[in-house]
A and B are shown apart, each in its own frame.
Chain A
Amino acid sequence: MNGSPPIAGGSFRTAWRRLRRNPAAIGSAIVLFLILFACFPGAPLWVSHACHHGPDDQNIQGTVTENGHKVPVVANDGTPIGPGLRACYLLGADANGRDLFVRLLYGGRVSLEVGITSAVLCVLVALLLGILSAYAGGMTDSVISRFLDLIWSFPVYLLAVALATAFAVNGISIGPLHVASTSLAIPIVVISIVYIPYVARPIRGQVLTLRRMEFIEAAIASGYRPTRIMAVELLPNVASMALVFLTLIVATNILTEAALSFLGVGVPLLTPSWGNIIEQGYQTIVTAPWLTVAPGLAIMLTVVSLNVLGDALRDAFDPHARIRIRG
């Protein structure tokens, strides 16, 4: 192999050019932007201008006016009102008389926060472990690799559920750090842990390849300290891989949050997340299907946009598909 690393800083510009010409990438970026807009600035705007119910306003005994009639938000047999063209309860209400559309918007904030934060954590830790273990080699590499193997061998959902359940009752208390059991930090931490090996392994593989290259050997020979080499020479060259993974892991984590909520150990009830809206709505899917269908569609839309974008990123950095799934 020649002396220059396969993916250098210049490739970011080339990637951007390729990305700009990819209609799928542009489309998905626009959709993501719209979703972010709707959930963050859009949500309070809707509440203040369209209908004045917040996501937690319960209105069990309330009514809406349809065609001149007063229709109860929640009927006497507990069935909530369904979707309809109205400012309030656009997508209908849930069993507590809360506005589903508003909850979807605010729930999106939570799901996105959980997804993005846990993905950033995951990729950062994976970068750290991947670069460290590949660069240091020997014992360090062995220990880290075996530890990653352990996490990865644990069936994902069982591990996540086990951890989440363990933390759920009384929160986490490690020394000065105390996390309440209903805090969002718990699902965030749990979800970030389970996919670390998935990202760390390919990064480690990439760094192993890079390490053998002349420019690294030159840096070592020049007497640069290991931390400088890792930070300045290695890190930029795995940055593109990390970026691709980041996008894909956000997508995966949004799905994982939904799954954990469905199993009862995700975001706690009351504050909405897309996952916990499904968790509750699923039990009355027969009489109030919109409560299950709407958040699922929201998840799907967000995740497919992230996946299309991540895939386009991968194509843009690496059109000949040298970034493999296996490290």
Chain B
Amino acid sequence: MTGGMRLLAVVATAAFAATGCASGSSTSGGSGGTAVNGGILQAGIPGNPDHLDPALSYTNEGWEILEATNNGLLTFKKAAGGAGAQVVPDIASAMPTVTDGGKTYTFHVRPGVKFSSPVNRDVRPSDFKFSIERLFRVDSGGVGFFTGIVGANQYAKTRKGGISGIVADDKKGTITFHLSKPDGTFDDYMATPFAFAMPVGTPDKDISTIPQWRIATGPYRITDYVPHQSITIRRNPTFRSWTPDTPNGHLDGIDVHIGVTPEQAVNETADGQLDWYFESVPPDRLTALKKQYPNQVFPFTRNNTTFFVMNERKYPFNKLAVRQAVNYAIDRNALVKIYGGQGTPTENILPPGFGAAYKPHHLYPHDIAKAKQLIQQAGVEGAAVTVWGHNTEPTPAAVQYLAGVLNQIGLKATVKTFDESVYWDTIASEKGDPQIAFNDWNEDYPEAQDWIDVMLNGEHIVNVGNNDISNTNVPAYNKLIDKAKAMPLGPARDAIWAKLDYLLMKNDAGWAPFMNRQWPKFVSSRLHGLVFNGTYFELFPSMWLSH
């Protein structure tokens, strides 16, 4: 998924690598000392989180909060680094039994996990069936993960009769999912908050602002939410830790102040008024902060690719030579400078965090002369081009850089920026249809499928909500993608992703990737225990405050 306020996934750097164990009582990531219990974390967020309803939230702000309050059958291990990409059982007592050639997943629901008041009872298998069906009834953005379940598409249309492919047996304590095709990433989907348990009877609308339905199963619960003002999170009295992977949490609670700008956050964190901010440090403040508060700045790397996307259906980017020219023309090091040095230059589609699926290639060394030549040969000199971007710095600087470069190689470029809140929808719709646009992508789940299948498989091109913004559609590659998707996770699958990365950049070049971005965080001096998980972002239950 794309950047900004959307879900961002993080893989922590070496400076922060967890000691491996998640013993539930203390995680020594970051500044030293043993964890102490107590204290209310003062957190800031620039605007309302998109939702506090697990069925609807699809941004990292929402998932960060919901990870601390709710649980699903599975979870990504509550750890940092590569460990945090591993799926482990949560409310399920063990990993699912997979049968029928990868099409049937059977889970046992652990007894004794309670919903908080006023529901006040154990979580049952029927609650999971209800929760997933509810996704379709509330028009959740996450339904796409579950359309592979038998009967889901019919249910999406009729909303009657439940999803036949989900069989819940409360007496036996099991729940079974029948998929229409094998999908190696089904476990990952079940670890996202969309699959978190909600009690049967939860109304078919956004319960973010309905207190009696904001039910928790985790160590914390949301006790109050005043939009544009605050979110109050306190300990959940009905919670009992059930595995080492479900930490108790050290904080007594979290006070989230809504409406804090990034600049305000920097000032207030320096003052000690604020402990932690949902967003990262404005890149230009970084140098001064690193000098003044070296122990309070953490450079977190995420699985991210930042790139310019070119529309293969629109002149002049309908010519391969022109797209290659753009790749030759940009100086990736200059772009990294625009981002305050907070990233590493790249030409690859996939980010480095994907292990064997990532094989760096260098197809397009910076060469303005070559780019100019390609433009001339393609006969598109003087073509009018509008570069699109959103208006949160440093993106405007990046798109102006690109426009300047395009002008240098012989095109006639102008810039158009949109507010970030409408930008992502606009570039994904046919009505918008940019020629060339800024784009970035952060993981929904830690696998290359989330990049290549979602954004470069021609079979997924649609008129609205299109993620294949380059309209890349190479039938041979589409087949290769589908082949990889059906394979189980492992080196064979990774090898295909790496090959596709190379082939797509060489022969299609719908993208001009330039950077794998980092997002530094600045926290108060009393905050410790920061653990960065790829999917859930910073884990509240691991944080603690010194006095």
Residues of A within 8 A of B (CB): 56-58, 60-61, 74-79, 94-96, 168-169, 181-182, 264, 268-271, 280, 283-284, 286-288
Contacts and interface: CB of A to CB of B under 8 A. Distances in A.
A61 B404 CA distance: 14
B34 to A, nearest CB: 35
A287 B284 contact: yes
Interface of B is mostly: helix
Nearest to B397: A95
Given A61-B334, A94-B397, 18 more contacts: A75-B337, A76-B341, A78-B337, A79-B284, A95-B338, A95-B393, A95-B394, A96-B338, A182-B414, A268-B415, A269-B415, A269-B417, A270-B414, A283-B282, A286-B263, A287-B284, A287-B285, A287-B288
Given A77-B286, A168-B416, A61 B400 contact: no
A168 B334 CA distance: 29
Interface string B325-353: 00000010110011111000000000000
Contacts of B416: 168, 181-182, 268
Interface residues of B, number: 36
8 contacts: A57-B404, A74-B338, A76-B337, A78-B284, A269-B415, A270-B413, A271-B414, A287-B288
A60 B394 contact: no
Interface of A is mostly: loop
Contact of A96 (B341, B400, B413): B400
**Shortest beta-carbon contacts, A-B, top 3:** A78-B340, A287-B284, A283-B393
A140 B401 CA distance: 52
Interface string B280-310: 0011111110000000000000000000000
Contact of A270 (B331, B338, B403): B403
A169 B386 CA distance: 11
Contact of A60 (B288, B338, B403): B338
Listed residue (A168, A169, A181) with the most chain B CB atoms within 10 angstroms of its CB: A169
A278 B400 CA distance: 15
B419 interface: yes
A264 B391 contact: yes
A77 B283 contact: yes
Contact of B401 (A58, A181, A271, A283): A58
Nearest to B391: A264
A179 to B, nearest CB: 13
B330 to A, nearest CB: 11
Contacts of A95: 338, 393-394, 397
B403 A182 contact: no
Contacts of B419: 264
Contacts of A280: 393, 396-397
A182 B387 CA distance: 11
B407 interface: yes
Contacts of B341: 76-78
Contacts of B394: 78, 95
B426 interface: yes
B368 to A, nearest CB: 12
Contacts of B401: 58, 60, 96
B356 to A, nearest CB: 32
Interface string B111-139: 00000000000000000000000000000
A60 B288 CA distance: 21
A78 B403 contact: no
A141 to B, nearest CB: 41
Listed residue (A95, A283, A284) with the most chain B CB atoms within 10 angstroms of its CB: A95
B404 A78 contact: no
Given A61-B333, A96-B401, A78 B283 contact: yes
A286 B283 contact: no
Interface in B363-414: 386, 391, 393-394, 396-397, 399-401, 403-404, 407, 413-414
A79 B337 CA distance: 9
Contacts of A181: 386, 416
A289 to B, nearest CB: 11
Contact of A284 (B282, B386, B407, B415): B282
A270 B415 CA distance: 6
A61 B338 contact: no
Given A182-B415, A270-B415, A284 B404 contact: no
Nearest to B405: A58
A181 B434 CA distance: 13
B361 to A, nearest CB: 23
A303 to B, nearest CB: 25
Contacts of A182: 386, 414-416
Contacts of B282: 283-284
A78 B335 CA distance: 10
A264 B337 contact: no
A45 B151 CA distance: 73
B408 to A, nearest CB: 9
A75 B331 CA distance: 15
A94 B285 CA distance: 15
A77 B414 CA distance: 26
Contacts of A270: 400, 403-404, 413-415
Contacts of B397: 94-96, 280
B337 to A, nearest CB: 6
Contacts of A74: 337-338
Contacts of A287: 284-285, 287-288
Contacts of A76: 337, 341
B459 to A, nearest CB: 29
Contacts of B399: 269
A57 B408 CA distance: 9
Nearest to A284: B284
